């Protein structure tokens, strides 16, 4: 009986540090952001008036959602994400499937090498690629110059999306590849035997058996990639110091940062933060729901 | 039957292995090119950086190292030390918090458990984007902005780490073992510390590594929280250096050397700990 009583309090003791930190650094900031997003600083009585916060309802949201600068930054983010996310996941899936083939050579070496960029901070990755893009130090342009061809402008207004996406792909493929690969390794090999006896090629096994079984891992990696894309910040900010094609408000988070600390529009920054968070949450929930439905169908 | 299978595998498999291996090696090459570039560029003197062929070795390695170490009174090494404190301290505390919370969620039945679990899962999906700005305003109201604490404390809570710890306990700390310790009269805390915790180590190494890399690589949080350069970690420090270098290419050599040194410890740690990582935790494909 006492054994039944004790574990009723104990779990809360074990959870206490995590819950205290969760409330302090996640829930309260979110609540504060929501509060800031529905008020505005008003100054009463001329230049020497009192600054006070006035409740303005959804005004800040209307302003945010109709702000052409923010919408433009979302458009640029979409342009970047439509290149980086599919290529990151596509390459991760291909590498994972290849690593899983029986009799592959240099598997360990390749796996370690492809995973290595995960350990490189975004700022450093952007810095390294920045030098690879910079006309005076770019190996590509050095090679083109040597054979007498015109140089490529990696940092121009058109090519900057590809250049940014390349940094994201380089940094992201390895981690996603490992997640997919570990999921593949957990599939019992006997599942493939029947297919092999029927004379199925490795291509057919991958397409018909492995990829369907990988759905949960693929949804998970898609989720990680989308969240990372929505938060893209350090790479474009770093590259900004060598490319004039990246403006102060190039991506949404850069615009939010500028509103909060540059132009003192805290309410606008808070409203935009909440909109981005809700968007992320919505995407995550839809993806998880799709995954859940799939899993239930499999069980039936 | 095994003969049939062997023949089948051989017939379909053997001739196609050159292609897949080549594709994987191309992927490895793509991943390594910038790293090899920075390794070679760090050996070049300022003049050589812009004049000699890429990937060729230069003669300025020692000079670059000396220049970086003496830059602004040895500021780079202050940043490196700060990174180590943030990432090492933050990841260690985060792992302890995640271990205890994960254990509670995995091995206790109590009212409100599902609610806590759902709350934490929602926390995984909250993007830093929504947190960093209000976190700064709160920290500044508490007088914590521009202190070590403002970066260290928010790094300790990691809902994903708690989730991973929970999955790991479920698969590798048997309920019967916990129950046996209780019957032997061990207190709840002692059961956790002496029985469960040792069995959780492989999973906790993974939680620690993920959080260490996450904090070490974090740019936004210190960028927003800190204004005092002497408190910067390497990421914001290198950004500052690169920004200063925009007008003065002389700083490029320093930034390159700085970038190289910033990734060496992490790559070394990763290669060393590779065998202890249980990244299968993440894909949810853990086998007990």
Contact B104 A14 (CB under 8 A): yes
The DSSP call for residue B191 is I
Q: How many CB atoms lie within 10 A of CB B74?
A: 11
pLDDT recorded at residue A264: 82
Cα–Cα distance list, A296 to A183, A212, A293, A299, B225 (Å): 19, 14, 5, 5, 45
Span B90-114, average pLDDT: 95
Calculate the average pLDDT of chain A. Answer: 88
Give the tens place of pLDDT for each residue, B78-101.
Answer: 999 999 999 999 999 999 999 999
Question: How many other C-beta atoms can be found within 10 angstroms of the C-beta atom of residue A107?
Answer: 17
pLDDT for res A133:
94
Put residue A44 in one of left, alpha, beta given phi > 0 → left and psi -120 to 50 → alpha. beta
Grouping H, G, I as helix, E, B as strand and the rest as coil, residue B146 is coil
What residues of chain B lie within 8 A of the CB of A220, using their CB? Answer: 282-284
Domain A58-299 classification at class level: mainly alpha
Q: pLDDT-based confidence at A45, cuts 50/70/90?
A: low
Asked whether the predicted pLDDT for residue A269 surpasses 80, the reply is yes
Give pLDDT tens digits for B184-200. 988 999 999 999 999 99
pLDDT at B13: 46
User: Distance between CA atoms of B262 and B260, rounded to whole angstroms?
Assistant: 5
- Of residues A209, A172, A17, A191, the one with CA closest to residue A91: A172
What pLDDT score was predicted for residue A235? 93
Sequential DSSP letters for A42-105: EE-SGGGPPEEEEE-TTHHHHHHHT-HHHHHHHHHHHHHHHHHHHHHHHHHHHHHHHHTSTT-S
Closest residue of B to A223, CA-based? B125
pLDDT at B12: 47
Q: Which of A32, A200, A261 sits opposite B138 (nearest CB)?
A: A32
- Show residues of chain B in contact with A230, CB under 8 Å: 127, 129
d(CA A228, CA B127): 8
DSSP letters, A221-272, are HHHHHHHHHHT--HHHHHHHTT-TTS-TTSSHHHHHHIIIIIS--HHHHHHH
Q: In 3-state terms, what secondary structure has residue A41?
A: strand
| pLDDT band at residue A2 using 50, 70 and 90 as cut-offs | very low
> Which residues face A40 on adjacent strands?
A54
Mutate to test the interface with B, among A8, A19, A123 (most CBs of B within 10 A): A123
Q: In angstroms, rounded to a whole number, what is the distance separating the alpha carbons of residues B170 and B87?
A: 27
Tokens representing A191 are 């599942």
Contact A236, A251 (CB under 8 A): yes
Chain segment A49-107, per-residue pLDDT in tens: 667 788 988 999 999 999 999 999 999 999 999 999 999 999 999 999 999 988 888 99
pLDDT at position A94 is 97
B76 token code pair: 């780079």
- Residue for token pair 């003049």: B47
B249 pLDDT above the threshold of 80: no
Give residue B1's pLDDT. Answer: 39
Size of interface A-B (CB pairs under 8 A): 318
Among candidates A116, A193, A266 on the partner chain, residue whose Cβ is nearest the Cβ of B267 = A116
A300: Cβ contacts below 8 Å, ≥ 6 apart: none
Strand partners, B94: none
- pLDDT computed for residue A43 by the predictor: 67
Segment A226-248 mean pLDDT: 90
A43 DSSP β-pair partners: A51
Predicted ipTM of the assembly: 0.89
Q: How confident is the model at residue B4 (pLDDT cuts 50, 70, 90)?
A: very low
Nearest Cα of chain B lies from the Cα of A42 at a distance, in angstroms, of 18
Residue-level pLDDT at A298: 54
Mean pLDDT confidence for B206-222: 93
Tell me if B122 and A281 make a contact (CB, 8 A cut-off). Answer: yes
Band (A265; pLDDT cuts 50, 70, 90): confident
Chain B interface test: which of A15, A33, A73, A99 (most B C-beta within 10 Å): A15
CA angle A168, A172, A178 (to 5 degrees): 170
- Written as six digits, the tokens of B257 are 């050397």
Q: Domain-by-domain residue ranges, chain A?
A: 58-299
More confident call, A293 vs B7: A293
Per-residue pLDDT tens over the stretch A131-154: 999 888 899 988 898 898 888 899
Using pLDDT thresholds of 50, 70 and 90, give the confidence band for residue A187.
confident
Q: A44 — phi, psi (to 5°)? A: -95, 145
The pLDDT tens digits of the residues spanning A210-235 come to 999 998 899 989 988 998 899 899 99
Do residues B108 and A10 touch, judged by C-beta distance below 8 A?
yes
Q: Which residue of A has its CA nearest to B27?
A: A114
Domains of chain B listed by start with CATH number: 1-31 (no CATH), 70-281 (1.10.3720.10)
In the predicted model, is pLDDT for residue A15 greater than 80?
A: yes
A255-264, A276-285, B88-97, B102-111: which is most confident: B88-97
Cα–Cα distance measured from residue B288 to residue B280, given in angstroms and rounded to the nearest whole number? 11
Distance between CA B221 and CA A167 in Å, rounded? 21
């Amino acid at each position: 009986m006492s054994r039944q009583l004790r574990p009723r309090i104990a779990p809360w003791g074990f959870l206490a540090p995590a819950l205290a930190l969760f409330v302090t650094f996640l829930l309260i900031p979110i609540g504060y952001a929501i509060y800031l997003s529905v008020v505005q600083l008003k100054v009463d009585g001329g230049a020497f008036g009192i600054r006070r916060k006035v409740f303005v309802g959804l005004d800040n949201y209307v302003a945010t959602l109709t702000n052409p600068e923010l919408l433009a930054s979302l458009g640029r983010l979409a342009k970047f994400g439509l290149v980086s996310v599919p290529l990151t996941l596509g390459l991760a899936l291909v590498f994972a499937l290849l690593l899983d083939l029986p009799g592959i050579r240099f598997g360990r070496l390749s796996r370690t090498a492809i995973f290595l960029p995960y350990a490189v901070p975004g700022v450093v990755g952007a810095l390294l690629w920045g030098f690879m893009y910079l006309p005076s130090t770019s190996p590509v342009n050095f090679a083109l110059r040597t054979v007498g061809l015109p140089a490529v402008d990696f940092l121009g207004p058109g090519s900057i999306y590809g250049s940014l996406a390349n940094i994201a792909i380089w940094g992201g493929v390895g981690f996603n590849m490992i997640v997919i690969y570990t999921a593949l390794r957990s599939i019992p090999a006997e599942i493939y035997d029947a297919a092999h006896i029927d004379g199925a090629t490795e291509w057919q096994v991958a397409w018909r058996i492995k990829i369907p079984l990988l759905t949960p891992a693929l949804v998970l990696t898609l989720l990680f990639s989308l969240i990372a894309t929505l938060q893209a910040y350090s790479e474009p900010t770093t590259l900004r110091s060598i490319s004039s094609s990246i403006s102060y408000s190039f991506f949404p988070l850069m615009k939010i940062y500028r509103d909060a600390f540059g132009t003192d529009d805290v309410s606008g920054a808070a409203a935009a933060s909440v909109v981005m968070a809700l968007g992320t949450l919505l995407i995550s929930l839809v993806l998880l729901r799709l995954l859940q439905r799939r899993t239930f169908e499999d069980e039936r | 039957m095994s003969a049939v299978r062997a023949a089948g595998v051989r017939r379909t498999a053997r001739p196609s292995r050159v292609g897949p291996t080549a594709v994987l090696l191309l992927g490895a090459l793509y991943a390594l090119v910038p790293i090899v570039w920075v390794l070679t560029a760090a050996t070049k003197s300022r003049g050589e950086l812009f004049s000699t062929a890429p990937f060729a070795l230069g003669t300025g390695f020692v000079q670059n190292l000396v220049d970086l170490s003496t830059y602004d009174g040895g500021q780079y090494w202050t940043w490196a030390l700060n990174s180590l404190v943030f990432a090492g301290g933050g990841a260690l505390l985060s792992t302890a918090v995640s271990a205890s919370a994960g254990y509670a969620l995995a091995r206790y039945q109590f009212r409100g458990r599902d609610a806590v679990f759902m709350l934490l899962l929602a926390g995984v999906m909250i993007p830093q984007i929504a947190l960093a700005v209000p976190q700064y305003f709160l920290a500044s109201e508490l007088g914590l902005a521009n202190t070590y604490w403002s970066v260290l404390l928010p790094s300790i809570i990691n809902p994903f780490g708690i989730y991973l710890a929970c999955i790991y306990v479920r698969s590798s700390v048997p309920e019967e073992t916990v129950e046996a310790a209780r019957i032997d009269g061990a207190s709840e805390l002692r059961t956790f510390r002496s029985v469960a915790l040792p069995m959780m180590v492989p999973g906790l190494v993974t939680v620690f590594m993920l959080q260490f890399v996450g904090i070490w690589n974090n740019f936004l949080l210190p960028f927003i929280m800190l204004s005092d350069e002497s408190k910067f970690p390497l990421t914001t420090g290198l950004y500052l250096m690169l920004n200063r270098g925009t007008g003065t290419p002389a700083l490029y050599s320093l930034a390159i050397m700085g970038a190289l040194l910033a990734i060496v410890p992490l790559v070394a740690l990763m290669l060393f700990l590779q065998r202890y990582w249980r990244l299968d935790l993440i894909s949810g494909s853990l086998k007990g």
